[in-house]
Amino acid sequence: MSAKIEDSTKSNEEHEVPRAMEHFRVDEEGMSPPSNQSGKPLPRVDGGWGAWSYLATATALETLVWGLASSYGVFLDHYTMLYPHSTGLLPIIGTVSMGIMYLLLSPLSLYLTAYARQRTRTMWLGLIIMFCGFMGAAFASNASTLIVTQGVLYGIGGTMLYCPTTNYMFEWWLNRRGLASGIMLSGTGAGGLIMPLISNALLQKYGKRTTLLAIGISYTFLLAFLIPFIRPRLPVAQPSVTRRPKINWSFLKTSTFWLLWSGVLFQGLAAFMPVTYLPSYATALSLSPTIGTLSIALMNLARVPGQVIIGHLADKMGPRKLILLMALASGISVFAGWGAAKNVGGLVGFSLAFGAFAGSYTALFSRFIAILNHDDPHLPAILYSLFFLARGIGSIASGPLSSALMSNTSLGNAKGGYGVGGYGVLIVWTGVGMVMSGVGAGYKSYKID
């Protein structure tokens, strides 16, 4: 009996898409059975106008919200010249904004799972908070104020805008969820490609205040246009019949979850270092500031096809092999790429390789969720947010951690990039974190009762 259970579980983990509750099931034509109060069939999953229009809108929102946060390295290079006495605080601005978006996603996702009717209101409130963050940052006169505005307020507003899209993703997409997640997450790369170029051009020509005012006002109008199109597939229950869903938390007692989660944490503790420091690294090499901006843009460019391809492979390929492939490729890109980068060609090569592999790691989350969840329709969004929580911890920690690593010049006489200022220890840390992300491949088979 135990052998049958183990074999069945292994098959589920490596090859099968998780089962869904009745209102997520589809027939051969891709149409859900009639399950709403009017008796009409629900919109198709995995295709059709509703699913694709939702995905396009969610990708656009991801492009705006995460694209700017991923481009903070451009602002850091500019702020270093504006606030030379606050160099220890300046890296925290970017890591705080991204860290909050990762950390706040878990409790907010749990809340919006229980109170689905609040999702649209949450997005509008998040837009107001983000706008206030932009305005406050535009008129900030010191690094501490920027941490509160461009860091904290942007992070809170961005989370409130982004979170409902993750809840709805698991309603609109099932068997092709990896591909859909990869497409949506590629928006981060697209935004990270466009926003460094726009931000750097504005900063160079108009300065901090005008740049943040222009971006803040533009974002407000664009996001206000997108919000009405982020809509559910399933009908939302009326308040009189709303019940808080009962969620199966037994996955927290398994080694499978914690090994996968630990892999995400290790990756998060290292993944944000190049995004934050490449412009400053280019400056340390006496290269043009444009090269630093270009390196971030190319890194994010590589994420666009990377997320889509890895997301597609996550639907087709065994997770253990994919986790190990991503960990080894990411580690090699750091040790052999960044570690040897002393000119424009080296930086370009590293940026493309790191973006394609390390930058596409989040596309694996859909497969992690398939391993852990079998029949709970409320659990996918919560699992997704818990993996983002691990990355958030890494993002928050990488701010003060990177400052400490940069102060260590023990590799100052090393060859290649390892001998550039304090970047040697930072490069080693980043490479080790990438390799350690492969610990998730050691998860054991198990079955949720």
Rounding to the nearest 10 degrees, give the CA dihedral for residues 434, 439, 441, 443. Answer: -150
Round to whole Å and give the CA distance between 400 and 403: 5
Round to whole Å and give the CA distance between 59 and 168: 13
Stretch 63-92: mean pLDDT: 83
- Residue 236's pLDDT is what? 66
Stretch 179-191: mean pLDDT: 83
- Choose between 244 and 430: higher pLDDT: 430
Round to whole Å and give the CA distance between 90 and 110: 32
Stretch 29-33: mean pLDDT: 39
Q: How many CA atoms lie within 13 A of 412 on its CB side?
A: 7
Determine contact, residues 68/223, Cβ cutoff 8 Å: no
- Choose between 42 and 345: higher pLDDT: 345
pTM for this entry: 0.72
The residue range of the domain holding 375 is 5-23+44-234+249-442
**294 burial level (CB within 10 Å; 0-12, 13-18, 19+):** buried
Position 131 in a domain: yes
- Residue 165's pLDDT is what? 86
Which of 215-224, 245-254, 398-407 ranks highest by mean pLDDT?
A: 215-224
Position 137 in a domain: yes
- Choose between 158 and 187: higher pLDDT: 158
109-166 tens-digit pLDDT: 888 877 878 889 999 999 999 999 999 999 988 888 999 999 999 999 999 998 888 8
Position 37 in a domain: no
Confidence of residue 244 (pLDDT cuts 50, 70, 90): low
Q: How far is CA 84 from the centre of its chain?
A: 30
Q: Is 41 helix (H, G, I), strand (E, B) or coil?
A: strand
- Choose between 249 and 20: higher pLDDT: 249
**What are the tokens at 152?**
């904290």
Position 239 in a domain: no
Position 72 in a domain: yes
pLDDT surpasses 90 at 300: no
Number of domains forming the structure of the chain: 1
pLDDT surpasses 70 at 91: yes
**What are the tokens at 399?**
């701010």
196-222 tens-digit pLDDT: 888 888 998 898 899 999 999 999 999
The CATH number given to whatever domain includes residue 400 is 1.20.1250.20
- Residue 7's pLDDT is what? 47
Please give the full DSSP string across 145-186, using - where no structure is assigned: HHIIIIIIIHHHHHHHHHHHHHHHHHHH-STTHHHHHHHHHH
Task: Report the first-to-last Cα separation within the chain, whole angstroms.
Answer: 15
pLDDT surpasses 60 at 24: no
- Residue 44's pLDDT is what? 80
Position 186 in a domain: yes
Give the residue carrying structure tokens 């068997």: 175
- Residue 243's pLDDT is what? 57
Round to whole Å and give the CA distance between 185 and 63: 8
Stretch 23-52: mean pLDDT: 58
Position 314 in a domain: yes
Position 59 in a domain: yes
- Residue 14's pLDDT is what? 42
- Residue 123's pLDDT is what? 94
Residue 401 has a CB neighbour count (10 Å cut-off) of: 19
- Residue 431's pLDDT is what? 94
- 34, β-bridge pairs: 41
Nearest to 212 by CA among 221, 223, 203: 203
Round to whole Å and give the CA distance between 375 and 383: 13
Confidence of residue 22 (pLDDT cuts 50, 70, 90): very low
* Sequence-ordered list of residues with C-beta below 8 angstroms from that of 234, at least 6 positions apart, any chain: 23, 36, 42, 171
